[in-house]
Structure formats: C-alpha cells, structure tokens
C-alpha cells in the first residue's frame, strides 16, 4: 500500500497553514464583519429591501483590495445604467404581462452577460431586481432605494477592505513566491535523499505538480502586480525544479545500478549550474545550485564515460 506523505495529509495542511496573515483568514474575517454590519443596519432600520446592502457588501469585498475596487466600479456602473433602463422601460410599458416578460428576459440573458463582463450582468440584475418589486407600481421609489442601498453597501465594503486586515495582490504574490521557494527546498531534500537510496517519488511528483500550479497562479496575477522580470525568474526556477526532478528519477530508478552520462553533456550541465551560482542574487537558489553541483561531482552512483 502507498502511504500519503505526512506533508500532504489534510491534518498537516490545515494545521500548518493556519495564519492570521493568510488570504483565506483575512477574507473570511472581512466578509463576516461586513455581512454582520450590513445585517445590523438592515434590521435596525427595518429596511424592506435591505438585502441589497448585503449582496453589495458580499460582492465588493474581495480577497485582493485591487479586485474590490474594480468590482465597485463595475457594480456602480451596472446599477446606474440598469436603473435608467428599468425606468425607461416601465415608463413605456404599463402592462404587468409585458413587464413580467422584460424581467424574465433580463434574468435569462444575465447568465450570458456574466461571461462578457460583470457590469453587463449587473445591468440585467438591476432590471430584474427593481422590476420584480415594482410590477404593479412605479419604480421610482425602488430605483432611489436601490441606488442608495448599493452605495451604502459599497461604502461599508470599501472601508472594511481598507482598514480591516488589508490584503493586496503584492502581498499575495510574495506569499506565493515564498511557497515556491519552499517547494524548491523540499525538492532539493528529496534529491539528497535519493542519492542515499531513499526519498519518496510520490512526494516529488506532488511537489512538481504544486510548483506548476504556483507558476500558473503567479502568471495569472502578473496583470495586478506588473512584475517586469517574472517570466525570466520563473523560467530559471522551472528549469531548476525540472532538473532536480530528473536527477531524482535517475537515482530512484537506478539505485542498484550505475548511471552513465556522456562526459560532454555532464560538463555542460555543470557549467550551467556554476554560471547560475555566479549570476543569481537569490541566496536560497545559490545554496540549492551548490548542492546539486556537489551531488554531480561527488556521488559514487554516477559513472561517466567519454
């Protein structure tokens, strides 16, 4: 039976990653405070459509502060345009049947509008929300309430985003970079263990998979952080991780027989590692490269032929 490495068990993950500075913790606290505050305002003032405040707070509070600002602009734009649209439509069409058709139609296309942009979805949602509560009456009062509640929800959400456990994209980016460095360190440990005939191939595969997921996330966040040398840095780290993975596989699969390398290829690999040691400013990266160089130069497992 294959045993799950301890580092990948849920009990370890949940215990090890509990932090008041993590994105999940800060987001959960902000949403909880926002919804509680919005619910208090709604109940205290007995606001009939106060749920619009709660929906806005939940929508605008985002894990990253930058995303919250973007969501605010789109939600406000969609609300205003939706209010104007429903006012014009309901001023023209007084019949409840036609109004119902308008509500059903906007509700139907809102799902498609979401795929285009959030602000277009908000236009449809606003028409549906105001239309459903003003089927038989004028939408004027509900339009005013809708705008007021949306603005109030936005104000509450932005204050919470700004003052309570602020967490921006740059912070998240640095956290991911630290996680990436830790993956490299763990890979290096597994390579050293494989030299001694030990090591866990399944753990190495998991580490490689996590590294790839982290790379994808870092690339997707680059539009928020604008890291100029991101691709160059990631390419070097990816090359290092792939090299360690290949070395581990060779030792693990051939621990009972010598591995033969072409001398020219081995010398070329050593030259690349030495060059990386001399040019990198990352201390951890330099240490890992030196360990890899030591493994190649001193391991009794590797046999070289010309």
What does the pLDDT look like over 43-102, one tens digit per residue? Answer: 999 998 899 999 999 999 999 898 999 999 999 999 999 999 999 999 999 999 999 999
User: Using the 8-state DSSP alphabet, how is residue 3 labeled?
Assistant: P
Least confident interval from 24-28, 84-88, 153-157: 24-28
* 4 pLDDT tier (thresholds 50, 70, 90): low
Strand partners, 261: 304
Note the pLDDT of residue 254.
58
Strand partners, 83: none
109 vs 238 pLDDT, higher one: 109
Longest dimension (CA), the chain: 91
d(CA 272, CA 270): 5
Note the pLDDT of residue 306.
36
22 C-beta neighbours (distance < 10 Å), count = 14
Report the relative pairing of strands 302-305 and 259-262 from DSSP bridges.
Answer: parallel
**Residue whose C-alpha is closest to residue 6's, from 177, 150, 200:** 200
Note the pLDDT of residue 12.
63
**Residue whose C-alpha is closest to residue 39's, from 31, 165, 250:** 31
d(CA 240, CA 125): 49
Note the pLDDT of residue 288.
66
Mean pLDDT of the chain: 82
Note the pLDDT of residue 33.
97
Does 299 score more than 90 pLDDT? no
- Torsion from C-alpha of 86, 89, 95, 101, nearest 10 degrees: -70
d(CA 103, CA 109): 10
d(CA 241, CA 276): 14
Token reading at 58 = 């939940």
Note the pLDDT of residue 81.
97
Task: Summarize the confidence of residues 192-220 as an average pLDDT.
Answer: 81
Q: Is-contact 280 286, C-beta < 8 A?
A: yes
Does 271 score more than 80 pLDDT? no
Q: Evaluate if pTM is beyond 0.85.
A: no
Reported as a single tens digit per residue, the pLDDT across 216-270 is 888 888 877 877 777 777 877 777 787 777 777 776 665 544 444 455 555 666 7
3-class secondary structure, 85: helix
58 vs 294 pLDDT, higher one: 58
* 301 pLDDT tier (thresholds 50, 70, 90): very low
Considering the chain, what percentage of its residues have pLDDT values greater than 70?
A: 78
Residue with tokens 């830790």: 182
């Amino acid at each position: 039976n294959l045993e799950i490495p301890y580092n990948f068990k849920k009990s370890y993950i949940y215990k090890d990653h509990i932090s008041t500075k993590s994105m999940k913790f800060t987001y959960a606290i902000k949403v909880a405070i926002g919804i509680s505050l919005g619910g208090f305002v709604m109940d205290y003032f007995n606001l009939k459509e106060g749920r619009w405040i709660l929906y806005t707070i939940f929508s605008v509070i985002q894990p990253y502060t930058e995303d919250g600002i973007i969501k605010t602009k789109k939600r406000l734009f969609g609300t205003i345009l939706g209010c104007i649209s429903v006012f014009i439509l309901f001023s023209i069409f007084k019949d409840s049947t036609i109004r119902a058709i308008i509500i059903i139609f906007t509700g139907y296309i809102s799902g498609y509008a979401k795929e285009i942009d959030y602000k277009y979805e908000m236009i449809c949602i606003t028409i549906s929300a105001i239309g459903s509560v003003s089927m038989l009456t004028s939408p004027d009062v509900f339009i005013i309430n809708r705008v007021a509640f949306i603005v109030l929800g936005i104000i509450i959400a932005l204050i919470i985003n700004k003052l309570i456990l602020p967490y921006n994209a740059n912070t998240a980016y640095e956290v991911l970079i630290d996680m990436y460095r830790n993956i490299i360190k763990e890979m290096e440990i597994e390579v050293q263990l494989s030299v001694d005939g030990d090591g866990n191939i399944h753990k190495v595969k998991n580490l490689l998979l996590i590294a790839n997921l982290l790379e994808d996330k870092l690339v997707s966040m680059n539009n928020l952080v604008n890291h100029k040398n991101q691709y160059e840095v990631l390419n070097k780290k990816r090359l290092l991780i792939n090299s360690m993975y290949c070395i581990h596989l060779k030792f693990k699969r051939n621990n009972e027989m010598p591995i033969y390398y072409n001398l020219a290829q081995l010398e070329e690999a050593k030259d690349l590692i030495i060059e990386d040691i001399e040019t990198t400013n990352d201390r951890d990266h330099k240490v890992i490269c030196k360990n890899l160089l030591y493994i190649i130069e001193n391991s009794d497992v590797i046999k070289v032929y010309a």
